């Protein structure tokens, strides 16, 4: 089976990391797999090269690049593969793939988050609706993302499946145990700092937690366009002593191991890889009812950690603060839950089954 994955670039990002890990896992299975990139610039390029992945340069310069010579070259490249797997929207590539088996994975749907030119936005979305209704299979990374996609694009006559994201979960014989008398209760969030992540809700909840005589430190690990606004909010609430921002960290597991609990305040998440990462380290993770795909990760295992409001979030923080043994007691069960449901190996198997169904194998 010859599979070609199409990705914009190997830069650092949750989507990029997932696709690179998937491609490497498929190669290890024995599939003849390659990846097409619009740009080779990115931190994950070395992972592709080190694992001997065949890389094809698309030549595409942007979302509205419709050069005919590029279209013809793409068709020629696609001819060499049994199936094309798209991970981001590119009209010229999708047009070139029309006569070949091709699948499209949507990794999240967040309309209206960033400001865009009105004509450009609606032109792209009209094209997207036409092309996505003609794929061999439309794949969503959560039921939430699939429901949003149906509402936005229709997809009435398209073969549709949900393949939950998977993560590389390091095999450990035991988990790092916190000292019973740790000097402080540590609440952590690992995320990009964007408006959609709703970090303001976390800061408000943490302030309420402190006002209820909770004691602890909030770690906001990451960086992004909202970093300065977050710092201003922290200063305005006089919380500088209680909230720390260490910046962007490549290896986040050391932080997860130090956290007592994790919180992710975002709304409308396409999936919620942070939930898998927290559970992989044996930590509970709190989220709001409107967290989208993240709720699908947390609710089957710890439904009580899905909260309705900032006040409820603060009260749940206080519960764990007062019942620290509850964190340790379920740590191994959280890890088993992550491995059984959200491992990279499970995701790779699910995609392999989709490919077989499309190709009739």
Query: What pLDDT score does 110 carry?
Result: 59
Instruction: Report, as an integer, the average pLDDT of 242-271.
Output: 88
Q: How many Å apart are CA 87 and CA 15, to the nearest integer?
A: 8
pLDDT exceeds cutoff 50 at 214 = yes
Considering 178-182, 189-193, 316-320, the range whose residues carry the highest mean pLDDT is 316-320
User: 5: which 2 tokens?
Assistant: 């994955």
The reported pLDDT for the residue numbered 254 is 80
Q: What is the pLDDT of residues 24-64, one digit of tens each?
A: 999 999 999 999 999 999 989 999 999 999 999 999 998 88
- CA–CA distance, 348 with 343 (Å, rounded to integer): 9
Give pLDDT, residue 211: 97
pLDDT for position 41:
93
Which residues lie below 8 Å from residue 132, measured CB to CB, with a gap of 6+? 104, 138, 149, 153, 155, 158
| Alpha-carbon dihedral sign for residues 290, 293, 299, 304 | negative
Per-residue pLDDT band at 174 (split at 50, 70, 90): low
Mean pLDDT over the full length of the chain: 91
Q: Distance between CA atoms of 229 and 225, rounded to whole angstroms?
A: 8
Least reliable range by pLDDT among 239-253, 256-270, 275-289:
239-253
For the segment 321-344, the average pLDDT, to the nearest whole number, is 93
* Stretch among 92-101, 266-275, 328-337 having the lowest mean pLDDT: 266-275
Helix (H) or strand (E) holding 104: strand 102-106
- Taking alpha carbons only, the member of 153, 138, 142, 168 closest to residue 354 is 138
Contact present, 293 and 272 (Cβ < 8 Å):
yes
Both tokens of 316, joined, read 């749940």
At residue 32, φ and ψ (nearest 5 deg) are: -85, 95
CA distance 41 to 34: 17
- Residue-level pLDDT at 123: 82
Residues 212-227: what's their mean pLDDT? 93
At residue 249, the pLDDT reads 76
Region 3-9 average pLDDT: 96
Q: Which residues pair with 104 in a beta bridge?
A: 86, 138
Question: What is the bridge-based pairing of β-strands 186-190 and 217-221?
Answer: parallel
State the alpha helices, DSSP H only, in the chain.
14-29, 45-50, 68-78, 91-96, 118-132, 143-153, 199-211, 227-236, 253-258, 273-280, 293-298, 310-322, 324-329, 331-342, 344-359
Residue 251 has pLDDT above 80, yes or no: no
pLDDT value at residue 208: 97
* pLDDT at res. 102: 98
Per-residue burial over 98-133, b if 16 or more Cβ lie within 10 Å, else e, is: eeebbbbbbbbbbeeeeeeeeeeeeebeebbeebbe
Rounded Cα–Cα distance for residues 167 and 353 (Å): 18
Check residue 115 and give its pLDDT.
57
Q: 117: which residues sit within 8 A by CB, 6+ positions away? A: none
- Residue 172's pLDDT band, with cuts at 50, 70 and 90, is low
What pairs with residue 269 in β-bridges? 292
- Inform me whether the pLDDT recorded for 146 exceeds 50: yes
Taken in order of first residue, the domains within the chain and their CATH numbers are: 2-166+343-359 (3.40.50.2000), 186-342 (3.40.50.2000)
The torsion angles phi and psi of 69, rounded to 5 degrees, stand at -65, -35
DSSP for residue 167: B
Give the pLDDT confidence score for residue 14 in this predicted structure. Answer: 77
CA dist 217 → 37, 185, 200, 245, 288 (Å): 41, 6, 16, 11, 20
Determine whether 246 is exposed, middle or buried from the number of CB atoms within 10 Å of its CB (0-12, 13-18, 19+): exposed
Task: Report yes or no: 65 and 92 within 8 Å, Cβ to Cβ.
Answer: yes
- What's the pLDDT at 53? 96
pLDDT at 180: 47
User: Which tens digits make up the pLDDT trace of 277-290?
Assistant: 999 999 999 999 99
- Per-residue model confidence (pLDDT) at position 252: 75
Three-class SS of residue 21?
helix
pLDDT at 76 exceeding the cut of 90: yes
Percent of the chain, pLDDT > 90? 75
Structure tokens at 336: 């088993």
Q: What is the reported pLDDT for 255?
A: 84
Order the strands of the 160-162 sheet from edge to edge.
Answer: 54-57, 32-37, 2-7, 83-86, 102-106, 137-140, 160-162
Average pLDDT over residues 120-137: 90
């Amino acid at each position: 089976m010859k599979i070609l994955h199409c990705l914009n670039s190997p830069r650092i990002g949750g989507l990029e990391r997932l696709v690179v890990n998937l491609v490497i896992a498929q190669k290890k299975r024995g599939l003849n797999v390659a990846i097409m990139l619009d740009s080779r610039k990115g931190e994950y390029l070395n992972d592709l090269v080190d694992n001997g992945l065949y890389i094809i340069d698309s030549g595409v310069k942007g979302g509205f690049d419709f050069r005919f010579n590029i279209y013809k070259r793409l068709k020629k490249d696609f001819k060499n593969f049994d199936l094309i797997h798209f991970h981001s929207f590119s009209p010229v590539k999708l047009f070139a793939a029309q006569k070949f088996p091709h699948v499209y994975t949507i990794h999240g749907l967040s309309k209206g988050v960033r400001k865009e030119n009105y004509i450009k936005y609606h032109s792209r979305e009209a094209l997207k609706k036409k092309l996505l209704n003609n794929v061999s299979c439309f794949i969503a990374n959560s039921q939430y993302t699939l429901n949003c996609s149906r509402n936005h694009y229709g997809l009435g006559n398209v073969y549709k499946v949900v393949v939950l994201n998977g993560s590389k979960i390091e095999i450990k014989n035991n988990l790092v145990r916190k000292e019973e008398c740790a000097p402080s209760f540590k609440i952590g969030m690992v995320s990009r700092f964007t408006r959609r992540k709703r970090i303001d809700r976390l800061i408000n909840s943490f302030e309420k937690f402190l006002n209820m005589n909770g004691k602890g430190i909030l770690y906001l690990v990451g960086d992004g366009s909202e970093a300065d606004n977050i710092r201003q909010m922290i200063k305005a609430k006089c919380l500088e002593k209680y909230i720390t921002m260490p910046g962007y960290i490549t290896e986040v597991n050391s932080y997860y191991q130090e956290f007592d609990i994790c919180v992710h305040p975002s709304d409308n998440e396409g999936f919620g890889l942070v939930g898998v990462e927290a559970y992989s380290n044996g930590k509970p993770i709190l989220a709001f009812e409107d967290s989208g795909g993240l709720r699908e990760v947390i609710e089957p295992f710890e439904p009580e950690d899905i909260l309705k409001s900032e006040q409820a979030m603060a009260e749940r923080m206080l519960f764990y603060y007062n019942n620290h043994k509850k964190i340790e007691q379920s740590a191994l069960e959280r890890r088993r839950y992550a491995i059984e449901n959200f491992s990279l190996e499970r995701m790779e198997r699910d995609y392999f089954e989709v490919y077989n169904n499309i190709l009739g194998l």
